[in-house]
């Protein structure tokens, strides 16, 4: 069987205010073309379909049109991410047409989607896990609601994976050593996929993902997915395409199809074709490029010279290095570069400020701690640190 693994479409997102609708439309056409021409048995979307809980109407229409066209050629399995509203995304899921599956409720994640091959045999089982917010799921997933699970991603995701492991065992699919060997048929040993929208330890984030830190930790160990019988883990949440994990099942982030920050300017955006019968099961298919991203730097005279002509059509972050700020800087830049999204006048003094801003973005709790200790003249107590952390997480939520 063949799967097209995607994630993090973020329909409706902008890039520093720039409208990305043409990029989303090109991506949608690309996905439909792939499922139509690559003999895809199921399109997987591992969360963050929309960029926010209440998406723009034209993005709702785009998703509906895309799924309708894709369903003419394949099955579609969609989970909700931390950007989506599970209730809105999953509304009417039980009324959807055959071949379309929306999984937005953690209590259903241990019930797989069965996929059949062209001979009518069971070829695969897909277990779609939506994003699991520990605060809202620790009680729902507990065997005794009066004794909720620990307030962590590991606890809630671990519970769902335990239920998946139990389901596989009940089907006699927990022994991987006989899979597709000897006389075992594909029907006896279907390929098993787990979809999860989570942050796996060791993976590289980009800065355009929304923070999901809870209880001081955002990530889960790759070993959590090392369940006998699981062949592939289709991950979502991180925007850089990458392989993760070690000796367990094959695990990948497909990454986002479009760059959403300048930290992604060097990414080769792609989707993943998983072929269960191929010697090399993974093929990366480059995504269409709407407009390249680049960061360029130099004096204003250098930037306006022919040296940088190739960047006229790029989305740009420009750093101007003149000792004194040139007059009418933005107007002069945009006269040559119409897609400037960010510009900075970088001197030795401002370079320090930019570094500090980057530190605030990447390590906000450390910056807050340093501020309070510098202001109060003493180290913070554990209780005070916990209060700052809890307050930061509430604001982020």
pLDDT tens per residue across span 264-317: 999 999 999 999 999 999 999 999 999 999 999 999 999 999 999 999 999 999
Give per-residue pLDDT as tens, 162-187.
Answer: 999 999 999 998 765 444 434 445 55
Quickly list DSSP for 94-136.
Answer: GGSPTTEEEE--GGGTTSPEEEE-TTS-EEEEEEEE----HHH
pLDDT attached to residue 390: 83
Quick one: pLDDT band at residue 66, thresholds 50, 70, 90? very high
Residue 195 has pLDDT above 60, yes or no: yes
**What gap in Å lies between CA 314 and CA 337, rounded to an integer?**
8
Residue 214 has pLDDT above 80, yes or no: no
pLDDT attached to residue 187: 54
pLDDT attached to residue 346: 86
What is the average per-residue pLDDT within 315-343?
95
On average, the pLDDT of the chain sits at 88
Quick one: pLDDT band at residue 373, thresholds 50, 70, 90? confident
pLDDT attached to residue 111: 96
Quick one: pLDDT band at residue 225, thresholds 50, 70, 90? very high
pLDDT attached to residue 369: 77
Give per-residue pLDDT as tens, 106-123.
Answer: 999 999 999 999 889 999
pLDDT attached to residue 246: 82
- CB distance 286 to 241 below 8 Å: no
Residue 244 has pLDDT above 80, yes or no: yes
pLDDT attached to residue 182: 40
Q: The whole model's pTM is what?
A: 0.83
Of 84-98, 142-156, 345-359, highest mean pLDDT: 142-156
Q: Which residue has the higher pLDDT, 236 or 379?
A: 236
pLDDT attached to residue 11: 96
Residue 344 has pLDDT above 80, yes or no: yes
Residue 99 has pLDDT above 60, yes or no: yes
- CB distance 258 to 27 below 8 Å: yes
Give per-residue pLDDT as tens, 3-30.
Answer: 999 999 999 999 999 999 999 999 999 9
pLDDT attached to residue 361: 58
pLDDT attached to residue 184: 46
Q: Which residue has the higher pLDDT, 210 or 82?
A: 82
High-pLDDT (> 70) share of the chain, % = 87
- CB distance 31 to 273 below 8 Å: no
Quick one: pLDDT band at residue 322, thresholds 50, 70, 90? very high
Q: Strand locations in the chain, DSSP E? A: 2-6, 14-15, 18-19, 42-46, 75-79, 100-103, 113-116, 122-129, 191-197, 199-200, 219-220, 232-236, 242-244, 250-253, 270-275, 282-286, 293-298, 315-320, 340-345
User: How many Å separate Cα 184 from the centre of its chain?
Assistant: 35
Residue 366 has pLDDT above 60, yes or no: yes
What is the average per-residue pLDDT within 317-346?
94
pLDDT attached to residue 357: 60
Q: Which residue has the higher pLDDT, 51 or 84?
A: 51
Residue 237 has pLDDT above 60, yes or no: yes
Encoding tokens for residue 173?
Answer: 């699919």
pLDDT attached to residue 353: 56
């Amino acid at each position: 069987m063949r799967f097209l693994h995607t994630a993090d479409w973020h329909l409706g997102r902008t890039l520093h205010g720039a409208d990305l609708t043409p990029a989303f439309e090109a991506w949608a056409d690309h996905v439909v073309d792939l499922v139509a021409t690559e003999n895809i048995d199921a399109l997987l979307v591992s969360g963050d379909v929309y960029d926010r809980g209440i998406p723009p109407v034209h993005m709702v229409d785009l998703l509906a049109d895309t799924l309708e066209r894709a369903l003419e050629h394949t099955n579609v399995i969609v989970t909700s991410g931390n950007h989506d509203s599970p209730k809105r995304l999953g509304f009417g899921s039980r009324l959807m047409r055959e071949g379309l599956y929306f999984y937005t409720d953690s209590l259903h994640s241990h019930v797989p989607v069965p996929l059949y091959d062209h001979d009518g045999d069971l070829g695969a089982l897909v277990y779609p896990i939506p994003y699991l917010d520990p605060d809202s799921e620790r009680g729902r997933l507990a065997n005794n609601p009066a004794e909720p699970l620990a307030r962590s991603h590991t606890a809630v995701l671990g519970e769902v994976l335990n239920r998946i492991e139990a389901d596989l065992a009940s089907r006699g699919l927990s022994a991987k050593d006989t899979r597709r060997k000897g006389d075992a048929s594909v029907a006896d040993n279907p390929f098993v996929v787990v979809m999860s929208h989570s942050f796996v330890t060791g993976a590289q984030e980009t800065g355009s993902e929304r923070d999901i830190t809870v209880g001081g930790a955002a990530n889960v160990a790759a070993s959590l997915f090392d369940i006998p019988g699981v062949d592939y883990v289709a991950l979502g949440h991180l925007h850089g395409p990458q392989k993760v994990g070690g000796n367990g099942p094959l695990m990948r982030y497909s990454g986002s199809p479009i760059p959403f920050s300048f930290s992604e300017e060097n990414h080769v955006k792609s989707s993943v074709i998983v072929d269960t019968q191929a010697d090399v099961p993974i093929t990366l298919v480059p995504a269409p490029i709407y407009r390249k991203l680049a960061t360029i730097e130099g004096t204003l005279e250098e930037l306006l010279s022919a040296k940088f002509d190739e960047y006229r059509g790029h989305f740009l972050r420009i750093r101007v290095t003149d000792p004194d700020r040139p007059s009418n800087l933005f107007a002069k830049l945009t006269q040559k570069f119409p897609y400037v999204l960010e510009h900075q006048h970088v001197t030795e003094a401002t370079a320090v400020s930019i570094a500090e801003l980057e530190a605030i973005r990447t390590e906000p709790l450390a910056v807050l701690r340093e501020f309070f200790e510098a202001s109060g003249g003493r180290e913070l107590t554990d209780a005070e640190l916990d209060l700052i952390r809890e307050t930061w997480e509430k604001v982020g939520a």
